[in-house]
A and B are shown apart, each in its own frame.
Chain A
Amino acid sequence: MTNASGPTTMLDGGAIIGAMRQAALDTIVALPDITTSAGLLWPISRQPDINLVRICKEDEGVSICAALALCRKRSALLMQQTGLFDSLNAVRGIAVEYELPVCMFVGLLGKEPGVPPPQNKKYSVRVVQPVLDAMGVPTLCIEENSDIPKIPAAVDRAYAESRPLVVLFGRRVKA
């Protein structure tokens, strides 16, 4: 797929932050991930209207976002897929079994650009969606900049249905 400036090589961080704003995600809970660090987390850290909570381990973020949802406040957890794997018990217990809209934005370290995650050579990328499918967690893969406008509707659906969502970033994000 191409956009006005040619094939997508990196995702547009500004557009993603715009989509987060449109989805009313005013708190971002995060651990750094190299695929989203420069294009997303550093810019988010400079947004005065976004509350950034830096955490030590990703499962903390599942619980923080769940409690915020109970308080009717929208938030998202930004992390790498390795952190997602480390958090699966919290995702299982708190987001899935307790039916809470925990929205997770996940950078896929090592993913081959343009190749759907389940078809990647790298095991840690390939198994992400099958694991989440098995857990009943919906996913949205952002492979191209033209996918970014899908984020607000997916977040709205997660809150409307009170269930978790994982947004997967298929390419590095640039500021």
Chain B
Amino acid sequence: MMLRTECLKEIAKVRGDALVVGVYSSAFEWIGISPHPLNFLSVGAMGQASSSALGFAIGLPDRKIIVLDGDGSLLMNLGSLVTIAGVAPANLTHFVCQNGCYEANGEHPIPAQDMVCFSGFARAAGYRLVTEFSDLDTLRAELPGFMQARGPSFATLRVRAGEKPTLDYSLVHGPESRRTFQANLNALLDSRA
């Protein structure tokens, strides 16, 4: 079991210029660990991060798209694994932080907490590459190669939360953060025009 912030720090080292879609607790930690113009906060409707990431992957086919999903979030949108596998975006890398609970909502356990296998779901759905990390040394060693592989790729991160991040929902739900993201994305799109 890894500390989630330590995992995110490793991902930050190899993100490059990727657009990153984060959810809830992971998103709050991520924006502190890897501040970047293309951090998209997927918090408006729980479970939608993977689908948002697929939209970005289709809309920006030459840009790496990373989704930092949560286990509770992904359980709300398991069909998206099949949809993503069907579209097969080569630029999409999907992480799920499996901590076994609804961390932002009182830490209640997810259903079948000790049995559910997200990598199994992704493999059965048809992702090109599926793996699982539960110790930091292995993650550190294998992450660069994993990130370079042709997607859609999927990795379960067996994590535990560290200190609770400050959940400033006014920051992530506020119109300012969305306007800033859109302006940053517009700048990228304009630079290509």
Contacts and interface: CB of A to CB of B under 8 A. Distances in A.
B176 to A, nearest CB: 12
Interface of B: 44-45, 47-48, 51-56, 58-60, 77, 79-80, 82-83, 86-87, 175, 178, 181-182, 185-186, 189
A113 B86 CA distance: 36
A122 interface: no
A59 B182 contact: no
Given A53-B58, A53-B83, A55-B79, A90 B45 contact: yes
A124 interface: no
A168 to B, nearest CB: 22
A110 B157 CA distance: 46
B51 A70 contact: no
Interface of A: 27, 51, 53-57, 59-68, 70-73, 89-90, 92-94, 97-99
Nearest to B60: A71
Contacts of A54: 83, 86
B58 A59 contact: no
Nearest to B77: A60
Given A59-B48, A97-B44, A68 B77 contact: no
Contact of B48 (A56, A63, A68): A63
Q: Which 10 residue pairs spanning A and B have beta carbons closest together?
A: A67-B55, A71-B59, A56-B79, A93-B44, A93-B45, A63-B51, A64-B55, A60-B51, A63-B48, A63-B52
A51 B55 CA distance: 12
Given A59-B45, A65-B55, A71 B80 contact: no
Contacts of A57: 77, 79-80
B contacts with A: majority SS = helix
Q: Select the residue from A71, A93, A94, A97 with max chain B CB neighbours within 10 A.
A: A71
Contacts of B47: 59
B59 A98 contact: no
29 contacts: A27-B58, A54-B83, A55-B83, A56-B80, A57-B77, A57-B79, A57-B80, A59-B77, A62-B48, A62-B51, A64-B54, A67-B55, A67-B59, A68-B55, A70-B55, A70-B182, A70-B185, A71-B55, A71-B60, A71-B185, A72-B186, A73-B58, A90-B44, A90-B45, A92-B45, A93-B45, A93-B48, A94-B48, A98-B178
A151 B44 CA distance: 28
Contact of A72 (B53, B83, B178, B189): B189
Looking at chain A's contact residues, the main secondary structure is: helix
A155 B168 CA distance: 35
Contacts of A97: 44
Contacts of B54: 60, 63-64, 67
B44 A98 contact: yes
Contacts of B178: 98-99
Nearest to B81: A56
Nearest to B181: A70
A27 B58 CA distance: 10
Contact of A73 (B45, B52, B59, B86): B59
B44 A94 contact: yes
B79 A64 contact: no
Name which of A61, A63, A99 has the most chain B CB atoms within 10 A of its CB.
Answer: A63
Nearest to B47: A59
